[in-house]
Amino acid sequence: MPEPAGSLTGTQHEIAAGDYRATITELGANLRQLRYRDEPLIREYDPDDLPPAGAGELLVPWPNRIDHGRYAFGGREYQLDLSEPANGNAIHGLTRWATWGLVAAADNRVELGYRLLGRPGYPFRLELRAAYQVTGDGLEVTISAHNAGRRPAPYGTGSHPYLRPADGLVDQWRLRLPAAQWLPADSRGIPSAGPQDVAGTEYDFRAGRQIGATSLDHALTGLARDTDGRAWATLTSDHAEVSLWAGPGYEWLQVFTGDPLGQDMRRLALAIEPMTCPPNAFVTGTNLITLAPGEAATHRWGVQASRS
């Protein structure tokens, strides 16, 4: 008898502690499910579906877009595959569709690894780790990259969760976002100017306010942080609250209301994406990390929730 077919996203790694439960997939080390008291905190999807519109994906070795996939580094020019062909961009890194192997597992924690070997457009070698852990305080995600090659490597990372404190449209929710600047971009998602002050604009959510009809697909920076170095973004509905924190090194948050998406996703969840660098950083060098041979970088972000 043939073995039963497996899901498109591979092995499902389930972890739980306290009121939290999460599922991470073998495909892309992706956060497919996150629940608090069995209520979804993110836009979930079926294990036999591919992650819709980047839902829950880990973005390595760059987040967001690279203009026409072309960049220069270390005195050489490189051309990446155009993974966003409609706009002529390379988008969201190289590991979203890769098979990540299990490194370690416990009831409340799983760590996956992937060896990113050289390829045209990115002839560098990185050893990657993605660890997801839940405790009574929420979810913590730790992303690490070690340059296992013989030359310096350009690097950035981000993650793509869509948060949802309740059912309904994002219009009804209140957003508090500690960002003092927003980044203008053209119709292809490529920055068209430097960071601008949010004061007096529709992108100022520092004091917290209802999202309403505001359409967002913007990178924001100038993040205010607590004494632990964490920047907190919070979504609130009538009876629930979900917060994403971004630790040191995450200098940007991409916020996306999903207006261009289909009716099954449009304005039904809010992507709040912690990023170490902005769009097109491989070209501009803004907040781009250069990993020397043998050097490593580690970044952490997480999610917490409450319900009345």
CA dist 94 → 59, 224, 250, 255 (Å): 8, 30, 19, 21
277 has a pLDDT exceeding 90: yes
User: Is 101 inside any structural domain?
Assistant: yes
User: Is 4 inside any structural domain?
Assistant: no
Cα gap 291→299, rounded to integer Å: 14
The predicted model gives 115-134 an average pLDDT of 98
Of 265, 225, 270, give the one whose Cα is nearest residue 246: 225
> What pLDDT sits at residue 3?
44
> What pLDDT sits at residue 2?
42
Secondary structure of residue 181 in the 3-state scheme: strand
Whole-model pTM above 0.85? yes
> What pLDDT sits at residue 307?
86
The predicted model gives 236-243 an average pLDDT of 95
> Each residue of 168-227: pLDDT tens digit?
999 999 999 999 999 999 999 999 999 999 999 999 999 999 999 999 999 999 999 999
Cα gap 261→217, rounded to integer Å: 12
CA dist 143 → 26, 129, 159, 270, 288 (Å): 15, 6, 10, 22, 16
Sign of CA dihedral 52, 57, 61, 66: positive
Q: How many residues does the chain have?
A: 308
283: left (phi over 0), alpha (psi -120 to 50) or beta: alpha
Secondary structure of residue 281 in the 3-state scheme: helix
User: Is 205 inside any structural domain?
Assistant: yes
Location of structure tokens 């060896």: 115
Number of structural domains found in the chain = 1
54 CB-side CA count, 13 A:
25
AA identity, residue 209: R
141 has a pLDDT exceeding 50: yes
User: Is 6 inside any structural domain?
Assistant: no
Of 135, 130, 134, 131, give the one whose Cα is nearest residue 114: 130
> What pLDDT sits at residue 4?
55
User: Is 17 inside any structural domain?
Assistant: yes
308 has a pLDDT exceeding 80: no
User: Is 267 inside any structural domain?
Assistant: yes
User: Is 7 inside any structural domain?
Assistant: no
> Each residue of 27-70: pLDDT tens digit?
999 999 999 999 999 999 999 999 999 999 999 999 999 999 99
CATH of the domain at 245: 2.70.98.10
5 has a pLDDT exceeding 80: no
> What pLDDT sits at residue 6?
87
Location of structure tokens 């490597």: 153
Cα gap 114→239, rounded to integer Å: 39
52: phi then psi, degrees, rounded to nearest 5: -75, 130
Percent of the chain with pLDDT over 70: 98
User: Is 5 inside any structural domain?
Assistant: no
Question: What is the overall mean pLDDT for the chain?
Answer: 96
> Which residue range is the domain that position 130 belongs to?
12-307
Going by pLDDT thresholds of 50, 70 and 90, the confidence category of residue 1 is: very low
